[in-house]
Structure 1
Amino acid sequence: MSSKEFVKSFYESDFYKDPEILKGFLHPECELFWSSSSGFVKFNYDQIIEHGVRISESFKELRADISHIIAEDNFVTVRYTYYAVSFEDPEEEFCLAHFISIWEVKEGKLFSCHEMSQMADELAVDNNAYLAVKVS
């Protein structure tokens, strides 16, 4: 499987529902460098697993809608939007956040990720999750 196919399969998996699935994708020395709307955080392998558990406790379902995926050698850049279903309202899916992630794949596993995210805006207008901007 190519690096691009491997990263795509990660986002299509239920990694957030089962730590064993997540462990199957991660290199033991995996690190995540995440710049989010609330600041920067660096996760090591164990912290990524813990974060996956927190996600599973927060959302009934989580779906990544990939709009772009580009690979060069063992680096894969992916732009995607996460959609979620809460436990409180299991009938409604909502747009959670937009991400761009650059993964390094090493030894067939996710080794390193530099990621940026922005919380979703209720003005998201289409399946590609581009945001509408009000102009005065």
Structure 2
Amino acid sequence: MTNKERIEFLYKEDGIRNASFLDTLLHDDFILEWDSSEGKLLLQKSAIINLANELKQNYIDSFMEISHFIEQENQIVVKYNHKVTTIENPKEFFLIAKVVAIWEFEEDKIKKGYQISKPS
């Protein structure tokens, strides 16, 4: 699987809520610098896997509406809208965040990420 295919699976096949996929995708020394509504966060691999489990528990379905996908050398940039369905309303997707992420690969795994998100 190429780096592009890995990122496509992450977003298009709901890999963002798949803890076992994330465990294979993320480097053991992975770090995410995330500028969120809560301020700047630094998250390691274990925190991302915990977040994936939380997303899976809290939402019935998750969908990434990708508007930009750019690959250059060992980096991939993705801009997307994150939409979910809830237990209360499983038939309607609603926007929870607008996100831009930059992923850096090393040895076929994501070693570092930079993300900016804005809640909807």
Q: TM-score, normalised by structure 2?
A: 0.91
Listed as ranges, the matches of 1:37-48 within 5 Å are: 37-48=37-48
Structure 1 or 2: larger helix share? 2
SS state at 1:91 partner: coil
Percent identity of the aligned residues?
Answer: 28
Query: Which 5+ residue runs of structure 2 have no aligned equivalent?
Result: none
| Partner Cα distance (2:74, 2:16) in 1 | 24
Q: Is the 8 A contact 2:10 2:16 kept in 1?
A: no
Describe how 1:1-136 pairs up with structure 2 within 5 A. Answer: 1-120=1-120
The structure with the greater share of residues assigned to strand is 2
Bigger drift between 4-13 and 58-67 goes to 4-13
Pick 1 or 2: higher relative contact order, CA cutoff 8 A, min separation 6.
2
The list of structure 1 runs, each at least 4 consecutive aligned residues, that deviate by more than 2 angstroms after superposition, is 1-6, 13-18
Deviation at 1:3, TM superposition (A): 2.5
Q: Distance in 1 between matches of 2:17 and 2:100?
A: 22
Is the contact between residue 9 and residue 15 of structure 2 (CA under 8 Å) also seen in structure 1? no
Q: Deviation of residue 16 (structure 1)?
A: 4.2
Structure 1 unaligned regions, length at least 5? 121-136
* Superposition CA RMSD, Å: 1.4
Distance (Å, rounded) in 1 between the aligned partners of 2:36 and 2:60: 22
Does the CA contact (< 8 Å) of 1:101 and 1:116 recur in 2? yes
Choose 1 or 2 for highest CA Rg. 1
Q: Given the two structures, how large is their TM-score scaled by the length of structure 1?
A: 0.81
Distance 1:108 1:70 in 2: 17
From the superposition, tell whether residues 79 and 107 of structure 1 become closer, same or farther in structure 2 (CA, over 3 Å): same
Q: Deviations over 1:70-129 (max 9, x none)?
A: 111001111011010011211211111100001001111121100000012xxxxxxxxx
How many aligned residue pairs are there?
120
